[in-house]
Amino acid sequence: MAGQSNIVLVPVEGDLDVTSVAPLRRTLDALIKNGCKRIVLNLAATSYMDSAGMGLVVSAVRRMRSKGGLLSLTNVSPNVLRALTIARLVDFLPVSAAGARPSVPELDPSVLPLWRTVLRIDPANLAATRKHVGELLARMPFSQDEAFDMGLAVGEAMGNAVDHADGCSLVEVAQYPDRAVVVVTDCGEGFSAEKADGPVEAGAERGRGIALMRLLADSVTIEPKPSGTGTLVRIVKLLHV
């Protein structure tokens, strides 16, 4: 299990059936009790899910939603996806099939944003900046779940910016005809693409935020700022309009 208290990626090791739901139930119970707001179940190693597994997922989704949170499934195999579709669970929670991440085309430089807002990230009141960004994202044609995911991804990027360069970080939120683009910049020492794309050691305390951002958004790029020092993080989520 990886992540922070508000966003957690939970790998499901093996099939999810009547013989294996108990350990996962204990994990989910602990996360929900501790106030986790976003749980992603990674089903990459799961080739079968029976009614007991589905019941556990439904129960966890309902409990999360009652507390203002969200649970979703990612890397779902074709067999499990078919079972979830027959049971109509794909209408009940966000489900991403294995290898189903959408392709994000390059943005035509001639296309101007419909609107754009730039904010200074306040390191003394990061919550206020997150709230303002959330209000801007709410102006876009996102579903409730999409807005939730995008807000968490951007919050992770802003937290990293404050951590690396206290007091000189900016966030730009823009809506284009087909996508939302959020750019977070700082003036720190910089963060290499190789480090951003590298694996995270099992016992490491840091480094999982990038993987989580990439789960939550359609595209995340991390590169040096084009001028001066610091890092630029661009987060893109396609608009289904």
Q: Looking at the structure, do residues 77 and 45 belong to the same domain, yes or no?
A: yes
**Alpha-carbon span 111 to 108, nearest angstrom:** 6
Q: Looking at the structure, do residues 125 and 211 belong to the same domain, yes or no?
A: yes
Q: Looking at the structure, do residues 77 and 135 belong to the same domain, yes or no?
A: no
Length in residues, the chain: 241
Residue 57 belongs to a domain with what CATH number?
Answer: 3.30.750.24
User: Is 89 inside a domain boundary?
Assistant: yes
DSSP state of 151: H
Q: Looking at the structure, do residues 119 and 83 belong to the same domain, yes or no?
A: no
User: Is 103 inside a domain boundary?
Assistant: no
Q: Looking at the structure, do residues 224 and 120 belong to the same domain, yes or no?
A: yes
Q: Looking at the structure, do residues 209 and 122 belong to the same domain, yes or no?
A: yes
User: Is 176 inside a domain boundary?
Assistant: yes
DSSP state of 88: T
Q: Looking at the structure, do residues 184 and 123 belong to the same domain, yes or no?
A: yes
Please report which helix (H) or strand (E) contains residue 101, including its range: none
User: Which residue range forms the structural domain that includes residue 79?
Assistant: 2-97
User: Is 105 inside a domain boundary?
Assistant: no
**Alpha-carbon span 195 to 102, nearest angstrom:** 24
User: Is 107 inside a domain boundary?
Assistant: no
One digit per residue, the tens of pLDDT, for the chain of length 241 reads 444 457 888 999 999 999 999 999 999 999 999 989 889 999 999 999 999 999 999 999 999 999 889 999 989 999 999 999 988 888 888 888 877 566 888 999 899 999 999 999 998 899 999 999 999 999 999 988 889 889 989 998 998 888 877 678 999 999 999 999 999 999 887 665 445 544 444 433 445 577 778 878 899 999 998 887 889 999 999 998 6
**Alpha-carbon span 198 to 126, nearest angstrom:** 28
Select from 97, 128, 145 the last residue of a domain.
Answer: 97
Q: Pick the closest to residue 181 from 212, 140, 231 (CA basis).
A: 140
Q: Looking at the structure, do residues 221 and 120 belong to the same domain, yes or no?
A: yes
User: Is 106 inside a domain boundary?
Assistant: no
How far is Cα of residue 16 from the mean position of the Cα atoms in its chain? 23
Q: Looking at the structure, do residues 81 and 186 belong to the same domain, yes or no?
A: no
Q: Looking at the structure, do residues 233 and 122 belong to the same domain, yes or no?
A: yes
Number of domains in the chain: 2
**Alpha-carbon span 223 to 190, nearest angstrom:** 8
Residue 145 belongs to a domain with what CATH number?
Answer: 3.30.565.10
